[in-house]
Amino acid sequence: MSRLDSHLEAALERVTRAGQRRTLRATTLLPGGRIERAGRTMLDFSSNDYLGLARHPLLVERSAEWAARDGSGSGSSRLVTGTSAAHLALEARIAEFKHCEAALIFASGWQANAAVIPALLAAIPGVAVFTDRLIHASMHAGIAMAGVRQHRFRHNDLDHLETLLAEKGADAPARLILTETVFSMDGDRADMRRLADIAERHDAALFVDEAHATGVLGPEGRGLSALVPGKVDLVMGTFSKALGGFGAYVAGSRVLIDYLTNAASGFIFTTAPPPAVLGAVDAALDLLPGMDAERAHLAALGDRLRAGLARLGLDHGASSTQIVPAVIGPEDEAMALSARLEAAGFLASAIRPPTVPAGTSRLRLALRAGHSEADIDALLAAIESVTGSGR
């Protein structure tokens, strides 16, 4: 019993009354787009293992091989004794993969954004920051830690961005635009070519989060930043989604990476990622160039799912990727639909505020390369059955 418990119980009760209490439930990721929970095997439409690499034999083998060779831990932070030859070699591979001069590995995507953004803003006093309203919470957190005001443009409204740049950024010593290339709750894309053009015309730096694009989109899965080579100043992405592993990277100029090595507190004061994590990433980078068929399959599944949701009268927004929302609206209705689908053998997690705006609670349907067209059709049939949609 802690002296804090009474206060924490009261706070939890407020969360519960708001219908927003969350709990942890044990699950096991399986091949073939499946997952196990409470002893049941279900079709999985909630995980971010887009290419099915989390259980790929090569990743498992190399992870074990590197752990056997170099041990289970890295021993220290990178600036003490934690940097190994494997860290440096993997960062060189990531830089080449992203067509950048250099890269830096972080323990997670959240850590990368929350550490890099305040470090970057500290180096540019008076910088004007422009953000898409729907950027990830970790990016908002990084800006808040820096104590810098952000100018938010309407989601993917680049006309609004241009207006704000002209009104708020013209007299600033520097301008920084932050966006995601694929938005994690909506599955839509940023227009990278126009963003790069806007950044160039307004002399603004461009910071993009490729967490949900890395491995899936762009030539050889290099992300949407690869569509505008040399025009993105900082690219962040993760290894924990399509790459089937754990951790994150930041890539950019050599000067940028040298600066972050000296200024990003979340890098400086964190133990380095262990050998097993590095081995899995290394194996994933070997596989990605040869996975065009899996990427095409994911795209086709997304089209099939969106067409089916439209037939059922369910809004899927502007999704054009492997992430497809089925927007329900009220939180209780989204939660109830998710529960009914789980009872029918489909894991389709409900996403609600504060993760998404009020009134837009949804099923966030995430596709995996192991899914078949029959799996998509089965999900659509289940949604129709439990909702009466399309009748």
DSSP-assigned letters across all residues of 63-110: HHHHHHHH-S---SBIIIII--HHHHHHHHHHHHHTT-SEEEEES-HH
DSSP 290: G
Q: Which sequence positions are flagged as catalytic?
A: 48, 136, 180, 184, 209, 212, 241
Reported as a pLDDT band with limits 50, 70 and 90, residue 389 is low
Q: What average pLDDT does the segment 270-291 reach?
A: 98
Residue 390's pLDDT is 54
Average pLDDT of 260-277?
A: 97
Q: pLDDT per residue over 96-151, tens digit each?
A: 999 999 999 999 999 999 999 999 999 999 999 999 999 999 999 999 999 999 99
pLDDT at 324 over 60: yes
Which pTM was predicted? Answer: 0.94
pLDDT of residue 111: 96
For the segment 299-324, the average pLDDT, to the nearest whole number, is 98
What pLDDT shows up at residue 391? 39
- Mean per-residue pLDDT, 160-175: 96
The tens digit of pLDDT for each residue in 75-88 reads: 999 999 999 999 99
Helices 275-287 and 57-70 cross at an angle (nearest 10°) of: 140
* Whether the predicted pLDDT of 311 surpasses 90: yes
The whole-angstrom separation of Cα 189 and Cα 262 is 33
Chain length of the chain:
391
Mean pLDDT in residue range 12-34 = 91
* Cβ atoms of 218 and 212 closer than 8 Å: no
The tokens describing 301, both together, are 């599944």
Q: pLDDT digits over 183-208, tens only?
A: 999 999 999 999 999 999 999 999 99
Beta-bridged to residue 365, according to DSSP, are: 324
Strand order in the sheet with 102-106: 102-106, 248-252, 234-238, 204-209, 175-180, 128-132, 150-153
Q: In the prediction, which pLDDT does 313 show?
A: 96
